Chains A and B, each alone.
Chain A
Amino acid sequence: ELKVEQNPLFLSMQEGKNYTIYCNYSTTSDRLYWYRQDPGKSLESLFVLLSNGAVKQEGRLMASLDTKARLSTLHITAAVHDLSATYFCAVVPGSEKLVFGKGTKLTVNP
């Protein structure tokens, strides 16, 4: 069974600091998605990574994909309070369904 593991599951950080969230998956996937969810809201798409070595950046967030290592990272630069949310990665094991990690709940403290 395909497993997608995120770590850490909970992250509390100070504003202005940098940190990385990791997403490991156990079988091949040619795509990886990162989503953000605010409490009670929908999952908002952040990045779609389509190939080995793909790197995408939006504001203070940067995502990368290493398909050989089956690893994606979501790097946060100079965190601000507005980034507080739960972040999910998801892969596609060759069918029309996303397989999600458990999510990383990020809290950015002033």
Chain B
Amino acid sequence: EAGVTQFPSHSVIEKGQTVTLRCDPISGHDNLYWYRRVMGKEIKFLLHFVKESKQDESGMPNNRFLAERTGGTYSTLKVQPAELEDSGVYFCASSPRGLGNSPLHFGNGTRLTVT
């Protein structure tokens, strides 16, 4: 089966611009998560979808970040306008039934650099 796919793999934008990251979960996985790792820090939770519904968005840093999952398939994470501190690696993960007793399946991440 295909794994979690993220696009683009790298993005370099200027401060103030907009960037949209995309995640395609494993087919049939209702649960989709976004995480972020800022340089030198821990990987941190951003939000969790079940199908198209946001279950928990407590990790979203501020209202410059908008995540969507229309139709409950792929998800997008938009940063508008981007700031320098948004630089980092954004990971998407999916699972069929949430965390439970199973691990999450992660994508390769999108490395975002804001200059």
- The residues of A with any CB-CB pair to B shorter than 8 Å are 4, 31, 33, 35, 40-45, 48, 50, 88, 90, 92, 95-103
Given the known A-B contacts A33-B103, A48-B103, A98-B99, are A42 and B3 also in contact in the complex, defined by CB atoms under 8 Å?
Answer: yes
CB contacts (< 8 Å) of A33 on chain B: these are: 103
Instruction: Out of B48, B58, B59, B103, name the residue touching A45 (CB < 8 Å).
Output: B103
Nearest CB to that of A102 among chain B residues?
B42
**Number of chain B interface residues as a range:** 20 to 34
Q: What's the minimum C-beta distance from B51 to chain A, rounded to whole angstroms? A: 14
Among the listed stretches B63-71, B80-88, B105-113, which one makes contact with chain A, having 4 or more residues with CB under 8 Å of it?
B105-113
> A31 to B101, Cβ gap below 8 A?
yes
SS class of chain B's interface: helix, strand, loop or mixed?
loop
Nearest CB to that of A45 among chain B residues?
B103
Q: What's the minimum C-beta distance from A35 to chain B, rounded to whole angstroms? A: 8
- The residues of B with any CB-CB pair to A shorter than 8 Å are 3-4, 9, 31, 33, 35, 40-45, 48, 55-56, 58-59, 91, 93, 98-99, 101-109
Q: What's the minimum C-beta distance from B61 to chain A, rounded to whole angstroms? A: 15
> B48 to A41, Cβ gap below 8 A?
no
Q: Tell me the bound Cα distance from A96 to B35 in angstroms.
A: 12
* 9 chain-A/chain-B pairs, Cβ below 8 angstroms: A43-B93, A45-B104, A96-B31, A97-B56, A97-B58, A97-B59, A98-B35, A100-B44, A102-B41
Q: Tell me the bound Cα distance from A95 to B98 in angstroms.
A: 10
Number of A-B contacts (CB under 8 A): 63
For the complex of A and B, 8 pairs with smallest distance between CB atoms: A45-B103, A97-B45, A43-B106, A100-B43, A42-B106, A42-B108, A100-B42, A102-B42
CB contacts (< 8 Å) of B41 on chain A: these are: 102
Nearest CB to that of A33 among chain B residues?
B103
Q: What's the minimum C-beta distance from B94 to chain A, rounded to whole angstroms? A: 11
Q: Tell me the bound Cα distance from A43 to B35 in angstroms.
A: 11
> A41 to B42, Cβ gap below 8 A?
no
CB contacts (< 8 Å) of A102 on chain B: these are: 40-42
Q: What's the minimum C-beta distance from A80 to chain B, rounded to whole angstroms? A: 24
Nearest CB to that of A92 among chain B residues?
B99
